[in-house]
Structures are given as structure tokens and as C-alpha cells.
Amino acid sequence: MTIFIPTEQTSAVLPIGQPQRAEVVAATEAWIERAAQMLALPLAPVPVLFDLRGTSAGMFRARGRDCWIRFNPWIFAKHFEDNLHFTVPHEVAHYAVHCQRHRRRVRPHGPEWQRVMRGFGLPPEVTFKLDLSGIPVRRQQRHAYRCGCRDHAVSTVRHKRMREGRARYLCRYCDAALLPVD
């Protein structure tokens, strides 16, 4: 179960509106065109969605022949210029590598991606260090478990797997099985 943790600051940041979304889409298309020229590779425009939540500013996704780029409208609202200049080309670089490698699996921030980022004239950095206060974030509910040496907070996914008998997890320190706390 995913729950949202409300804070006093959560409502302080509102997602970007239609004019800024249009600017992000235009920037995405411009970076795709630049990547196509740089790699001498035909790159079609991809759908740009503004449905990402949490602490990630952007995400490139591919499923079969379908590709799309997702952006977090709250993080863009708080740090619009930074995201326009770094997050957009970061995600376009993922798309370009995906197309260049003929949909074969490659490391997400491996040498191919780094090469494209350097070709863009940008540092191949993976994450940004910006203030995210006021951004709504999702938190996984945790479940209490215990082993022979300590208490553990287990994710809902692992909790369900153990409860259904599909998995057994061991403590990395004492090698004892994790058991639910009553």
C-alpha cells in the first residue's frame, strides 16, 4: 500500500500549468532533434506525460515498441529552469540510447548514455541535489519483522510475499529468518 505523507508544506508547491508544460514538450522535441542529428539516427517524437510523482524529476519508459517520457510537474514547478536544462536532456539521452541500441538492454547510465550527455555538452550526472520540500512524496508502508538480532521494517511487497509463502527473507547480519511481530 502506498500512502501520501501530508505536510504543512505539501500544498506550497503547485504543479506546472499548461504554458510551462508546452515549453517542456517543445524543449523535449528540440533535444530529440539535436540527438537525431548528433547520432545520425531518425528519432521520432515521443509522448511527454506529466504524471510522475515522488522524488524523481523525470523518467524514460519503454514497453515493447512504445516509448514515452514522464516528468514530475511539482519538481518542475519548484526548479523549472534547472529541470528544463538538465532533466529534459537527461531523459532524451535515455531515449536516444534506447533507439540507437536497437532496443537491446543497456545499463541506464552506462557509457552509451554518458556519451550522448557529453555530446549535448552536459555533465553525465545521474541525480540532482535540489531542495524538494513542499513536493508531495509517496511513502511505502512498512511492516514490523524481527530476527535473532534486531528489528526490521519490511516493505509491503516483501510482507505480502512472506505472508503468502512465496518468499522467505533472512537477516544479512545473523542469517536468521525474518518473522512478523505480533
Q: Would residue 134 count as lying in a domain?
A: no
| Whether residue 147 is found in the same domain as residue 57 | no
- pLDDT: which is higher, 51 or 103: 51
Burial 88-108 (b: 16+ CB within 10 A, else e): bbbbbbbbbbbbbeeeeeeee
| Whether residue 34 is found in the same domain as residue 74 | yes
Q: Would residue 169 count as lying in a domain?
A: yes
Query: Could you give the C-alpha distances from 68 to 14, 94, 118, 128, in angstroms and in order?
Result: 23, 11, 22, 21
* Greatest mean pLDDT range, 23-27, 106-110, 130-134: 23-27
| Whether residue 58 is found in the same domain as residue 146 | no
Query: In the structure, what pLDDT confidence band is assigned to residue 144 with cuts at 50, 70 and 90?
Result: very high
For residue 52, the model assigns a pLDDT of: 93
Instruction: Answer yes or no: 91 catalytic.
Output: yes
CATH number at residue 6: 3.30.2010
Q: Would residue 146 count as lying in a domain?
A: yes
- Report how many domains make up the chain: 2
| Whether residue 7 is found in the same domain as residue 71 | yes
Q: Look at 39-53, 75-89, 91-105, 114-128 and tell me which has the smallest mean pLDDT.
A: 91-105
| Whether residue 152 is found in the same domain as residue 68 | no
From the candidates 23, 29, 91, 125, give the one annotated as an active-site residue: 91
| Whether residue 8 is found in the same domain as residue 60 | yes
| Whether residue 149 is found in the same domain as residue 81 | no
| Whether residue 166 is found in the same domain as residue 106 | no
| Whether residue 84 is found in the same domain as residue 151 | no
Range of the domain at 175: 141-180
| Whether residue 95 is found in the same domain as residue 166 | no
Tens digits of residue pLDDT in 10-30: 446 899 999 999 999 999 999
Q: Would residue 109 count as lying in a domain?
A: yes
For residue 4, the model assigns a pLDDT of: 40
